[in-house]
Structure 1
Amino acid sequence: MSKFSVGDIAPNFSIKVSEDTTINLESLKGKYVVLYFYPKDNTPGCTIEARDFNSLKKDFSALGAEIIGVSKDPLASHEKFRKNHDLQFHLGTDTNGDLCEKFSVWVEKSMFGKKYMGIERATFLIDPEGKFAYIWPSVSALGHAKDVLKKLKEIK
């Protein structure tokens, strides 16, 4: 899936996280960034993953890491998702799919024999210099946040 390898420089990105806030990788230099892609707000797997990252937010913050979840859902959907689950990290909207394409997570999927395009659940850990510290392609939502935290602790 990923066209990137650990040690590669992560592509700069700019993503809208609220009506008046846009985050870009350049502004996060000096921090670890957990950039995770998920298919859709308020669906079972995506909710599990988001709540797990949220429950570990203080641990990630203590290690100097910023969490950003990304899907193609619009900002209004993200805001509802954040409020429903009291999420304390940013959710970026990629409605046009540019960031999904840039990170190679917009892929052909299959369900019940029907093929369609969608976001493959994946996570990229970016180090303070803007390089990939670790990449998780095709992840399972359950327990993933703990795996990311464990790897971050190993790396630090």
Structure 2
Amino acid sequence: MSARLEAGDAAPDFTLPDDTGSQVTLSDLRGRKVIVYFYPAAMTPGCTKQACDFSESLDSLAGQGYTVLGISPDKPEKLARFRDKEHLTVALLSDADRAVMESWGAFGEKKLYGKTVQGVIRSTVVLDEEGTVTHAWYNVKATGHVAKLRRDLGLDGGE
């Protein structure tokens, strides 16, 4: 497993296809703050909850200058079905070979039902306008994560 990103690290650049087949390049988003979240699989309960939470918060996050990118190993066609089925507005990117996940520390050993397995580590990384990591969370819980993220970033009026 590659090293996890920490505050102050330069985020590794990437170009990945989105759920429409268009290419999204991280460095093209310079000048905006970016939230990149990694999730194991589209159309599973936890990942659906997390994607819906990000979609529900998207207007508010965008208003604070954030772009949100969700990345999974699913192919673009499955991501499109996921988007349509759940009415998602968050950008969904496909990292089929898991190379981006590995370079960001979001793929490796994890516990699943008491066993150690290789897989996607549910993670969220926040970047500033220059592409530098400001926050990085690994092994996050799907439920309640967006609310915690908003609190940690001070986006809820200090509540």
TM-score greater than 0.5 by the shorter chain: yes
- Whether 1:81 aligns to 2:77 is no
Q: 4+ residue runs of structure 1 moved beyond 6 angstroms?
A: none
- Alpha-carbon contact 1:125-1:133 (below 8 Å) kept: yes
Q: What is the Cα deviation at residue 109 of structure 1?
A: 3.0
Give the Cα separation in 1 of the matches to 2:37 and 2:132: 15
RMSD across aligned C-alpha pairs, in angstroms? 1.7
* 1:17 and 1:92 in contact (8 A); partners too: yes
Which deviates more, 3-12 or 42-51? 3-12
Deviation string 1:76-133 (CA, Å, 9 cap, x unpaired) is 1100110111111210000011101111111123434544321010000011111001
TM-score, scaled relative to structure 1:
0.91
CA contact (8 A) 1:2 1:105 kept: no
Q: In the alignment, is the contact (CA less than 8 A) between 1:32 and 1:126 conserved in 2?
A: yes
Contact kept in structure 2, 1:38 and 1:119, CA below 8 Å: yes
What is the CA–CA distance in structure 2 between the aligned matches of 1:32 and 1:57, rounded to whole Å? 13
Structure 1 stretch displaced more, 108-117 or 80-89: 108-117
Q: Which residue in the other structure is 1:27 paired with?
A: 28
Number of aligned residue pairs: 154
Matched residue of 2:74: which SS?
coil
1:52 aligns to 2:67 (yes or no): no
Give matches, 1:1-156, under 5 Å: 2-153=3-154
Aligned equivalents of 1:137 and 1:114: distance in 2? 18
Deviation track 1:1-56 (CA, whole Å, cap 9, x = no partner) reads 85322011111111111454111111000111110000000111101111111111
The aligned amino acid for 2:61 is F
Q: Secondary structure at the match of 1:56?
A: helix
**Secondary structure, in 3 states, of the residue corresponding to 2:23?**
strand
What amino acid is the match of 2:39? Y
Distance 1:44 1:18 in 2: 19
**Distance change >3 Å, CA 146–CA 20, structure 1 → 2:** same
Once the 2 structures are TM-superposed, how far is the Cα of residue 137 of structure 1 from its aligned partner?
Answer: 1.0
Q: Distance in 1 between matches of 2:125 and 2:29?
A: 14
The runs of 5 or more residues in structure 2 that have no matched partner are: none
Per the normalisation by structure 2, the TM-score is: 0.89
1:153, distance to aligned residue in structure 2 (A): 3.3
Residue 26 of structure 2 aligns with an amino acid whose one-letter code is L
